[in-house]
Amino acid sequence: MAAIDLTRLDRQIDHVAALYHDPAAFQVELHTIFSFYHRYSHRKQKETISKTFMRNYDMPDKVLPHIEARLKPLSLQHPDEALTLADQLWQDQYYESRELATTLVGNLPISHHEQALAVIERWLQEPLDRAVANAIIANASRRIQIEAPVSWKSLILKLLDSGRVQEQKMGLLALAEMIPNSHTDELPGFLAIVREYLVSPESAFDKYLQLVIEALSKKTQQETAYLLREVISDSYDARVGRRIRHYLDFFDEPTKTRILGAIKNQVILPVTQTNGNNSA
């Protein structure tokens, strides 16, 4: 493995940055850097869980963040070319290229936030590796979340209301990330959205909904617990109680006990009766 010499790495990055007007050449040279720092003889511990299921390089942790930081001026000074580069890198089969694509979009000037939002929405409509989805939400929306938060919230609500499972899952993921920094007056709206998903028969939402409930419980534990108990009381579907059981550890013991009591007291109708009620 090549030792990390930041001066040399900076020169390599400057060389690839100079190719911003030629996306294909940029991509080729970027992989040259990745290959240079790839640890070919490095063996990961068996218990180590990879962050991505995409093809990826085994580089020292500092390399990719340094490349991303060094290329930040490119997005600011040449935003249209940066968007084209992001599209090129998005087609790449390696995780690192896709993460860099999200960073290029996230560093665009706020004057290009509508173009950035369009790219983000298009990406989130695709089946995604979880690490890539996280990178889109954390990186590609970074400037928009700070400087155009209303536009970012509007996109999340659009995804959640799309009626398409993939987009709804990504909307839940983005909502979970937004809740910690949200204003108190936004919480009733979020709780109303969550109610619809808590009673949904779609199991594909479960792991994303769990992230939202965890975020809400940290932000407003009592209101979240009240919502869960109310949903249980109003539902005759055993799946709802089973889903909510997964959230118990997000609450303190007295609150957990009250939620568990609501689950135990839930009135469950036979499936045929439940289906009949739903179709009425």
Per-residue model confidence as pLDDT tens digits over 214-272: 999 999 999 999 999 999 999 999 999 999 999 999 999 999 999 999 999 998 877 65
> Which whole-number Å values give the CA distances from 141 to 69, 174, 276, in the listed order?
16, 10, 43
The percentage of residues in the chain with a pLDDT greater than 70, rounded to a whole number, is 92
Give Cα 92 to chain centroid, integer Å.
19
Q: What was the pLDDT predicted at 3?
A: 63
Cβ burial 228-249 (10 Å sphere, 16+ → b, else e): bbebbeebebeebbebbeebee
What is the rounded distance in angstroms from the CA atom of residue 196 to the CA atom of residue 88? 38
pLDDT tens column, 33-62: 999 999 987 666 555 567 899 999 999 999
Judge whether residue 273 has pLDDT over 50: no
* Single pTM value for the model: 0.90
What is the enclosing helix (H) or strand (E) of 160?
A: helix 149-160
Residue 4 has pLDDT above 50, yes or no: yes
Tokens of 212: 């939202």
Interval 108-127: pLDDT, tens = 999 999 999 999 999 999 99
